[in-house]
């Protein structure tokens, strides 16, 4: 029975210690999470500001063209999306700051309460010491003891009382410093919040101006619907030609790898080396380097409404990346060039095989590689075509797995 009682008590004691640790650690964990979240938001804000600045540079290049273009609208749309995300990110920062300010205010209130209690206790001790300041009374307090042990205890009591009083004075000083630090921290956070609110207001005003600019371009382009439809038809034909070229190369690769020529091959057969490359490519999903050193995605993968003619659906087999004049295209992964195709009036195309995967780079002016070349990650493979009429430099990239089109944004480093 006693053993069971002791065992239960030990369990209760351990549980109490665990609860105490949890209560102590919770504020630390919460603070650490807030710091990480705040740091991530600040990093995101900087990245968005860099993207907006770069998109501005692209728009300056595009505006050199005497006419308003669809590319200008797409680039502006990208900037508007980034600006809205930036405002949302700043909102997130302000939300965290509001929570931190509220928590700091609570800490200050608790510290002020503790400090007042300490000062009141100390004042009572000082008053008591003042009333009994006569050295004679303290000696009498010791000498009035009935025996030596009591005299010793009374002497120790006086020493401990003096030590306690000194300790209280130090504690008051520490609490005052802690309070001053918290007040300074509060002021810093309030200043940071004011700066963020100012930045947010500026971004909102800029967003309103950019939306007005978009309306002007949109109205101009909508008045040229016939011309835009003609451009759309041409782009669709170019995409079909590119897809045919890719499918032709895939079929050739399947036929080459097919040992039994009597049976029709339906998929790529991989050598052990190609299997390893394919596996390595797959593991790098979301980590592949961008095919340009700097650029912004202005047209995404898949089916979506046309930006100026919502009743028309456009389909993109990859993504279109706007970049600077004179920019070079680079390989996103190790591989082998399986084809270089020329599409009249739409530039040249390089297709690189990475085991079971293919990466396709279109809208090139010059190519620096040929079929059969072994390619390394980030190797420059060609220069990107400049559209003089629209003053735009735009790379089109696609990623395939066998005969299946994949969204390049899922594979490129975020």
Question: CATH no. for residue 350?
Answer: 2.70.70.10
243: exposed, middle or buried (Cβ count in 10 Å: 0-12, 13-18, 19+): middle
Residue 204 and residue 80 share a domain: yes
pLDDT at 29: 43
Same domain, 255 and 215: no
Nearest to 264 by CA among 274, 251, 275: 251
Residue 230 resides in a domain: no
Residues 162 and 274 in one domain: no
**Structural domains counted in the chain:** 2
- Predicted confidence at residue 247, as pLDDT, reads 81
385 and 269 inside one domain: yes
Q: Are residues 244 and 359 in the same domain?
A: yes
Which pLDDT score is estimated for 16? 47
Contact 414, 43 (CB under 8 A): no
> What pLDDT is attached to residue 92?
92
Q: Are residues 213 and 245 in the same domain?
A: no
Asked whether residue 189 falls in the same domain as residue 92, the answer is: yes
What was the pLDDT predicted at 389? 76
Of 222, 246, 280, the residue at which a domain comes to its end is 222
**Per the structure block, which two tokens stand in for 95?**
């939300």
Residues 283 and 171 in one domain: no
Is residue 311 domain-shared with residue 170, that is, in the same domain?
A: no
Interatomic CA distance for residues 241 and 89, integer angstroms:
42
Are 379 and 338 in contact by the 8 Å Cβ rule? The answer is no
Could you tell me which residues are beta bridge partners of residue 259?
A: none
Is 353 found in the same domain as 377? yes
> pTM for this structure?
0.69
**What are the CA-CA distances from residue 46 to residues 50, 125, 274, 402, 413 (Å)?**
6, 56, 39, 38, 17
Two structure tokens written together for 402: 């066998």
pLDDT of residue 6: 41
pLDDT at 194: 93
Q: Are residues 118 and 245 in the same domain?
A: no
Final residue before a domain boundary, out of 176, 196, 222: 222
Could you count the other beta carbons within 10 Å of the beta carbon of residue 158? 12
The Cα 12–Cα 412 span in angstroms is: 53
pLDDT for the residue numbered 3: 46
Tens-level pLDDT at each residue, the chain (414 residues): 444 434 445 555 455 455 545 554 445 445 455 555 888 888 888 988 888 898 888 888 777 766 667 788 888 888 999 999 999 999 999 999 999 899 989 988 988 888 888 788 777 767 666 555 555 455 555 556 667 676 667 666 656 666 766 777 778 888 888 888 889 989 999 999 999 999 999 999 999 999 998 888 888 887 877 777 777 777 778 778 888 888 887 777 777 765 555 555 556 667 788 889 999 999 999 999 999 999 999 999 999 887 777 778 888 899 999 999 999 999 999 999 998 988 876 689 999 999 989 999 999 999 999 999 999 999 999 999 998 877 889 999 999 998 889 999 999 987
* Boundary of a domain, candidates 222, 252, 278: 222
Question: Same domain for 386 and 270?
Answer: yes
What is the reported pLDDT for 306? 78
Residue 121 lies in a domain: yes
Q: Which of 234, 244, 221, 240 is nearest to 387 (CA)?
A: 234
Look up the domain containing 67 and give its range.
Answer: 2-222
CB 337 within 8 Å of CB 253: no
In a domain, 229, yes or no: no
**Nearest in space to 76 (alpha carbons), one of 240, 259, 213, 227:** 213
Strand partners, 193: none
Do 382 and 328 form a contact (C-beta atoms < 8 A)?
yes
């Amino acid at each position: 029975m006693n053993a069971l009682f002791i065992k239960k008590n030990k369990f209760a004691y351990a549980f109490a210690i665990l609860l105490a640790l949890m209560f102590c650690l919770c504020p630390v964990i919460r603070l650490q999470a807030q710091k990480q979240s705040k740091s991530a938001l600040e990093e995101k804000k900087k990245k968005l500001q860099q993207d907006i600045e770069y998109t501005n540079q692209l728009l300056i290049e595009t505006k050199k063209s005497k006419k308003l273009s669809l590319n200008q609208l797409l680039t502006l749309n990208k900037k508007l999306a980034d600006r809205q995300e930036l405002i949302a990110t700043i909102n997130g920062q302000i939300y965290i700051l509001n929570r931190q300010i509220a928590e700091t205010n609570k800490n200050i209130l608790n510290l002020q309460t503790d400090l007042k209690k300490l000062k009141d206790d100390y004042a009572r001790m000082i008053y008591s010491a003042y009333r009994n300041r006569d050295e004679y009374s303290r000696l009498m307090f010791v000498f009035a003891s009935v025996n030596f042990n009591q005299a010793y205890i009374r002497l120790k009591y006086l020493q401990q009382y003096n030590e306690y009083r000194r300790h209280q004075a130090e504690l008051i000083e520490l609490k005052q410093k802690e309070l001053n630090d918290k007040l300074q921290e509060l002021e810093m956070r309030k200043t940071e919040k004011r700066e963020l609110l100012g930045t947010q207001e500026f971004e909102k005003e800029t967003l309103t101006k950019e939306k007005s600019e978009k309306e002007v371009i949109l109205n101009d382009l909508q008045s040229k619907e016939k011309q835009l439809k003609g451009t759309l038809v041409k782009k669709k034909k170019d995409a079909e030609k590119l897809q045919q070229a890719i499918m032709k190369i895939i079929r050739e690769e399947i036929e080459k790898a097919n040992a039994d020529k009597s049976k029709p091959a339906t998929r790529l057969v991989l050598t052990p080396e190609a299997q390893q490359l394919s596996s390595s490519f797959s593991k790098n999903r979301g980590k592949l380097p961008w095919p340009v050193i700097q650029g912004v995605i202005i047209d995404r993968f898949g089916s979506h409404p046309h930006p100026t003619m919502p009743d028309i659906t456009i389909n993109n087999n990859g993504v279109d990346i706007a970049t600077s004049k004179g920019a070079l295209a680079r390989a996103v992964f190790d591989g082998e060039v399986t084809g270089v195709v020329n599409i009249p009036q739409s530039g040249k195309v390089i297709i690189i095989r990475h085991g079971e995967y293919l990466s396709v780079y279109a809208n090139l002016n010059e190519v620096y590689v040929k079929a059969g070349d072994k390619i390394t990650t980030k190797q420059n493979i060609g220069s990107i075509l400049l559209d003089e009429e629209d003053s735009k430099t735009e790379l089109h990239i696609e990623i395939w797995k066998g005969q299946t089109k994949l969204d390049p944004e899922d594979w490129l480093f975020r």
